[in-house]
Amino acid sequence: MPSELVSRVRSASVPPYLSALFGRLGVAVSLVVELPEGASVPVTALQLIKLGGQGTALQPAQVVPVAAAAPLQVRLEHGGRCLVLVGEQLAGGKVALARRIAEELLGPGEAAEALERFAREAPRQDALRRLTRAMLETQSIHRLRQITLLGMTSGAALGFNRAALFVYDEEARALVGVSAIGPHDDGEAHRIWESIETHDRTLEDLIEEHAASDVDTRFEALVRTLECPIADTGDGDEVAAALAASGPLVFTRAQAVNPAIAALEPPEEFMVCAIKLRGKPLGVVVADNRYSRAPIDPEALDFISFLLDAAALVLENLRLLESVETLARHDGLTGLFNRREFETRLQEEQSRAQRLGSQCGLLLLDLDHFKAVNDTLGHRAGDELLQSVGVLLRSTLRAHDIVARFGGDEFAVLVTDTSDEQVVAIARRIGAGALTRGISLSIGGSLWPREDLEFSVLFAEADASLYEAKRAGRGRACVDRVEGVLEFAAELSMD
């Protein structure tokens, strides 16, 4: 092939319809280009040459030099039949190849098979477009996982009976089961299929149902108990093989080698595909037809990599967004909420407390003599002290309590669903834990609701109590509406 022609072929842009046509044709087609000396090669000819040998039905092009007076022509050959393209048919624009290939190149049976193949793939392509759109619209990693697994199990898409997702945990160096969609048993499988057919539910309906958790989750509960280390043991482990492969793998065996897959009790035929981004493993999807016992559709496998690659890209974006949001809401030194996020949560808690008639308490904390630590030991020691307080607060408070660093050496805690006695006990526990660690804290508290205290002055009352604790000698707590000042005592060691 002349070097000038090679250069033009490389720069040719192949339209999607041509790639799809020859990518799904299902039969091998030879490509012969008869090129007159000095002739200019039309756009469509360049596109066909480029497609040749790229994994489509077109075989690598044979470029045959002919006399300068001869016409340039492209021949497509298959099974003793030949389709010749010349003149305006190669000039550019959309070439009506599908009809001519069916009429002149394929036998009746081959044309019918190609038509059936396109008919099966069109709904899948439409479903994958809708799934991709749903992925791009979601702001939740959990919802992204659901959408991905629905793509694996929906009859409109890939149609597996069930699918399970394992994600890579860097700390554990293992794949951990996190999500799954599918029936728990034969009875549940029959109920699901009957409901889908009876109510004619769309793919969007299924996505909404799973978002509302209006589905059976017993299969998912099983998957969440499973974990498998990443190790190429060389003994036929399906997960290790999938991580090393470039696409989905179908296994046919009486018993799965990988213990996590074996725990799912798959049928003899099942599929495993790794989810990767830039070569880095993100997870693995396992899918099968346990209840229908239908063989895995080889044509469905072509779409799996597309679906999982799309999910991987969206996951990366969501993780970046989550990281940015975390930085915006948290204090960089201690990892606690910052003041802005705390005040937002405070407003939400006020609404909830009013609605449920519950009580909350606000505690303001201040490190005693913090400036002296910075002045004598340096700011690094001061930072380490603040981090120690952050660790103390996280380990002392309940999961639903809200804690933040306000800036400098000031911290705030919102104790939710509480009583006067519990707020006092929590203040005492924080102070005692600090004292045990050699840290002196002063704490001021306020309680809400009360008849003479609006929620808007909760901070003012807690701040006043904090200064009362400092005036009483520091290392103490004072809670508004509770008589007396609490003096902390170090926790006793159990050793």
Q: Which two tokens stand for residue 20?
A: 């799809």
Closest by alpha carbon to 359, among 464, 476, 481?
481
User: Whose structure tokens read 């006793």?
Assistant: 492
Distance of CA 380 to the CA centre of its chain: 37
Q: Say whether the peptide bond before residue 229 is cis (omega within 30 degrees of 0).
A: no
Give the N- to C-terminal CA distance of the chain in Å, as an integer.
84
Cβ atoms within 10 Å of 324's Cβ, excluding its own: 10
Residue 341 CB contacts under 8 Å (≥ 6 apart), including other chains: 329, 330, 404
Closest by alpha carbon to 157, among 111, 196, 109?
196
The one-letter amino acid at 229: P
Radius of gyration of the chain (CA): 33
| pTM, rounded to two decimals | 0.54
Distance of CA 90 to the CA centre of its chain: 45
Looking at residue 351, its pLDDT comes to 79
Closest by alpha carbon to 216, among 188, 187, 195, 194?
188
Q: Which two tokens stand for residue 325?
A: 């949001």
Task: Provide φ and ψ at 448, rounded to 5°.
Answer: -145, 140
Task: Provide φ and ψ at 35, rounded to 5°.
Answer: -110, 110
Cα 205 from Cα 195, distance rounded (Å): 12
Cα 4 from Cα 41, distance rounded (Å): 11
Closest by alpha carbon to 33, among 43, 25, 45?
45
Cα 162 from Cα 178, distance rounded (Å): 14
Strand, helix or coil for residue 226: coil
Cα 367 from Cα 437, distance rounded (Å): 13
Query: CB of 337 within 8 A of CB of 413?
Result: no
Looking at residue 494, its pLDDT comes to 40
Looking at residue 200, its pLDDT comes to 63
* Blockwise average pLDDT, block size 10, the chain, 495 residues: 81 80 81 87 85 83 88 89 84 64 80 71 78 86 89 84 90 85 84 66 73 71 87 76 92 93 95 89 92 88 85 84 72 88 84 80 91 88 91 86 89 88 90 90 86 72 91 89 78 46
